[in-house]
């Protein structure tokens, strides 16, 4: 029931993705550009940082546009540099969170990266960074945050067109 509510809410909010001033296959939301990929992010981009519930809902609508099943997708959230100190891949501190109940839990002390669409509530979860999921990339919001660009264990960079 919760999943149906989120789907309807997202459809109402973003019935059509807008390209705005973004490059081809990228979509605009509040001055930033976003791209869904069926694999991990593209060279020269960061996994998305999410700063608000509105942005979280936009990212979910973008994912749903390309993956109606709403599978797991990487976002730029990690505590890979220091356990329990979550940072975005653009170097910005985490101020908005949307964790699923009981998360992050660092299960077996192996979970250092964040993804969306966990369980029926479709919230965030921490998981081992070596998993192969789709991803959402985003342009930088704030140039004052220094990107540390953590990388995933994959060589595939093919994107969904």
CATH number at 18 reads 3.10.100.10
In-domain check, residue 77: yes
Asked if 100 and 123 touch (Cβ cutoff 8 Å), the reply is yes
The predicted structure's pLDDT at residue 83: 95
| pTM to 2 decimal places | 0.78
- Residue 80: domain span: 2-130
The predicted structure's pLDDT at residue 43: 62
The predicted structure's pLDDT at residue 156: 33
Element (H, E) at 137: strand 134-138
CA 115 to chain centre: 6
Element (H, E) at 59: helix 53-66
In-domain check, residue 8: yes
In-domain check, residue 136: no
In-domain check, residue 159: no
Count of domains observed in the chain: 1
The predicted structure's pLDDT at residue 112: 97
The predicted structure's pLDDT at residue 20: 84
Average pLDDT per 10 consecutive residues for the chain, totaling 161 residues: 56 63 92 88 78 96 95 96 94 94 96 96 96 91 54 36 32
């Amino acid at each position: 029931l919760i999943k149906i509510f989120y789907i309807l809410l997202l459809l109402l909010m973003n019935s059509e993705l807008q390209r705005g001033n973004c490059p081809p296959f990228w979509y605009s939301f509040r001055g930033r550009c976003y791209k869904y990929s069926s694999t991990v992010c593209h060279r020269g981009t960061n996994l998305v940082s999410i700063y608000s519930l509105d942005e979280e809902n936009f990212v979910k609508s973008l994912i749903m546009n390309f993956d109606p099943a709403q599978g797991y997708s990487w976002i730029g959230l990690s505590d890979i540099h220091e356990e329990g100190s979550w940072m975005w891949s653009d170097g910005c501190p985490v101020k908005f969170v949307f964790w699923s109940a009981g998360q992050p839990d660092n299960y077996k002390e192996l979970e250092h990266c964040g993804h969306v669409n966990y369980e029926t509530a479709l919230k965030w979860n921490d998981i081992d960074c070596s998993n192969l999921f789709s991803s959402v990339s985003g342009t930088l919001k704030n140039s004052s945050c220094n990107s540390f660009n953590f990388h995933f264990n994959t060589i595939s960079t093919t994107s969904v067109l």
